[in-house]
Amino acid sequence: MAAHWRSMRLRDGRRIINPGAVGFQLVHGSPDARYALIERREGKWSTALRVVEYDHDAAAAQAIGNGFAPWAAVLTSGWVDQTGLF
């Protein structure tokens, strides 16, 4: 699990969940979409982190077609930094 994709419980009992993103992932080296399922059963919370593969090439082509060419490499590789995306 990457540092940007996790679920953690704080000492005071609160839970922080960061599943990542669907469509524009910022986890280095993994372009797959991510989301979290959060459920409460019998008074207890549970978190399930999910990964979904999708057509990265089609997403990159759509980004280029919409004027966001710098995003194409990010969408297909999962590698990004803060420069050059906007």
Long-range Cβ contact pairs of 65-70 (< 8 A, separation 24 or more): none
Above pLDDT 70, what percent of the chain?
79
Q: Is the pTM of this model over 0.85?
A: no
Q: Are 24 and 11 in contact (CB under 8 A)?
A: no
pLDDT tens track for 45-71: 888 888 888 898 999 999 999 998 888
Q: Where are the domains of the chain?
A: 6-77
